[in-house]
A = this chain, B = another copy of it.
Amino acid sequence: MNSVNQVDMLKENKGSLIDGSITSPLGFLAGGLFCGIKRKRLDLAWLYSEVPATAAAVYTTNLFQAPPLKVTQDSIQSGGKIQGVIVNSGNANACTGEEGLKNALLMRRKFAEHIGVREHLIAVSSTGIIGEQLPIEKIEKGILNMTDFYQQNDATDFETAILTTDTFVKHACTELEIDGKTVTIGGAAKGSGMIHPNMATMLAFITTDANIQQDALNQSLKKVTDETFNMITVDGDTSTNDTVLILANGKAGNKELTPAHPKWHAFEQCVKLVCQSLAKQIARDGEGATKLIEVQVKSAESDQDAKKVAKSIVGSNLVKAAIYGEDPNWGRIIAAIGYSGIELDPTKINVSLGPYKLLENGLPYPFSEKEATNYLQQNETIQIFVDLSAASGNAVAWGCDLTYDYVKINASYRT
């Protein structure tokens, strides 16, 4: 990496992704193994920092918040530090009542004991089927099979072991220079199905070796999550288990980052870059999806208004099915703008599909249906641009098309 160019790019708020993962930042190790919750595939993942890391998290807004989230919350609240994360897939430990909470606490304690740290330095996540008790004895055995973190260190195993109906692993990485030190930010995520603004069955783990104040980290994660993970939707449902967790272990040796640090903005942009990449990967891997849909809304009265419009379009079953059908059906885009719940002037709206203008000042623009259809056929990422011609509010949302396979997967998930 040419760090001068990198810094220049960050000054321009562009940043770029590099090869890497959650184990790219200094002092992080991760892995995954099979403990028998799933039939065959890896189902137990661990993440470890050589030193306790400053931690922050954002959780699902679903009222049926699963026990593991309460345990992670308890750990972070108790001292703001996390050193180890244990994640199982195949069972969400949700709607499991007192026994579920007991199991989540046990999962934390067993992992803490095994690696020799205090319980409150451990975060716990679960994802999978709702309403069945965790096979805790399998997880305990799995933990005992973690014999040497350095030998078993394999980020891809971690990325694999957290998946449910996902079809590919998701990771992202970037770096920047702060106080003459290279600071790295890595991430891993799982999604697929039930993915919606306000977080659904999605888990994201971000690691960085930056030295950063906890309040600042917390505030930054909330902001970035709102602009990335909360701007994706697959099917409009939100789940019981979603969590975005960030760990910053300070190993890079920079001066403590706060909003007052000259590199604060650049750092935040890099966190956003990683989270945005993960969010897009999750949307692209929506159940049955064949295309990623990106909706950019500009010139709304406020960012909030722009978000509502972008989410309304990307969440419309009719728009999603039309894109799957490679049909430039702008009427459905218009309808979704119209019921988004914001005030707007219909006669000032412009809509484009990729490079093709479909609507000008609220009226159909004479576009070549053949070219627009061709655009839908040729591209894996479909962009919709909406200009509300009101003020300066902007937003971007991501989603995927609605396909036969979505119905197939979700008509028979449990059986």
Instruction: Determine whether the beta carbon of B63 is less than 8 Å from that of A318.
Output: no
Which residues of the other chain, B, contact A322 by a CB distance below 8 angstroms? 410-411, 413
Q: Report if A402 contacts B (CB, 8 A).
A: yes
Instruction: Determine whether the beta carbon of A364 is less than 8 Å from that of B95.
Output: yes
Which residues of the other chain, B, contact A239 by a CB distance below 8 angstroms? 335
Question: A372-407: contact bitstring with B at CB < 8 Å (1 yes, 0 no)?
Answer: 000000000000000000000000000000111011
Instruction: Determine whether the beta carbon of B331 is less than 8 Å from that of A94.
Output: yes
Compute how far the CA of A374 lies from the CA of B92 in the bound complex, rounded to whole angstroms: 26
Instruction: Determine whether the beta carbon of B130 is less than 8 Å from that of A336.
Output: no
Q: Report if A316 contacts B (CB, 8 A).
A: yes
Q: Report if A7 contacts B (CB, 8 A).
A: no
Q: Report if A330 contacts B (CB, 8 A).
A: yes
Copy number in the complex reads: 2
User: Among residues 286 to 326 in chain A, which have CB atoms less than 8 Å away from a CB atom of chain B?
Assistant: 315-318, 321-322, 324-325
Instruction: Determine whether the beta carbon of B335 is less than 8 Å from that of A131.
Output: no
Which residues of the other chain, B, contact A224 by a CB distance below 8 angstroms? none
Q: Report if A414 contacts B (CB, 8 A).
A: yes
Instruction: Determine whether the beta carbon of A331 is less than 8 Å from that of B410.
Output: no
Instruction: Determine whether the beta carbon of B406 is less than 8 Å from that of A327.
Output: no
In-complex Cβ contact of A235 among B96, B194, B317, B347 (8 A)? B317
Q: Report if A62 contacts B (CB, 8 A).
A: yes
In-complex Cβ contact of A331 among B61, B129, B318, B407 (8 A)? B129
A contact face: mostly helix, strand, loop, or mixed = loop
Which residues of the other chain, B, contact A61 by a CB distance below 8 angstroms? 339
Q: Report if A193 contacts B (CB, 8 A).
A: yes
In-complex Cβ contact of A329 among B64, B329, B404, B414 (8 A)? B414
Given A64-B346, A238-B339, are A194 and B318 neighbors across the interface (CB < 8 Å)?
yes
Which residues of the other chain, B, contact A364 by a CB distance below 8 angstroms? 95, 131-132
Compute how far the CA of A7 lies from the CA of B317 in the bound complex, rounded to whole angstroms: 44
Given A407-B402, A414-B327, are A318 and B129 neighbors across the interface (CB < 8 Å)?
no
Compute how far the CA of A237 lies from the CA of B337 in the bound complex, rounded to whole angstroms: 10
Instruction: Determine whether the beta carbon of B410 is less than 8 Å from that of A334.
Output: no
Chain A residues near B (Cβ < 8 Å): 61-64, 92, 94-97, 129-132, 193-194, 196, 198, 235-240, 315-318, 321-322, 324-325, 327, 329-332, 334-339, 343-344, 346-347, 359, 362-364, 402-404, 406-408, 410-415
5 example contacts (A-B, Cβ-Cβ < 8 A) are as follows: A62-B338, A130-B332, A236-B315, A240-B335, A329-B414
